[in-house]
Amino acid sequence: MVRIHVGYASEIDRKGSRTYIWNGVEIALFRLSDGSIFAVENKCPHKGGKLSEGMVCGSHVHCPLHDWKIELYSGTVQAPDHGHVRTYPVEVDPVSGAVYLDVLNVGDSAAS
Domains in the chain, ordered, with CATH? 3-102 (2.102.10.10)
9-16 contacts, C-beta under 8 A, 24 or more apart: 9/35, 9/37, 9/92, 9/97, 9/98, 9/99, 10/97, 12/37, 12/99, 15/56, 16/56
Instruction: Say if CB 46 and CB 68 are below 8 A apart.
Output: yes
User: pTM, whole model, 2 decimals?
Assistant: 0.87
For residues 73 and 93, give the distance between their C-alpha atoms in angstroms, rounded to a whole number. 19
Give per-residue pLDDT as tens, 37-50.
999 999 998 888 89
Give per-residue pLDDT as tens, 57-85.
999 999 988 988 999 999 999 999 999 99
Task: Count each helix (H run) and each strand (E run) in the chain, helices first.
Answer: 0, 10
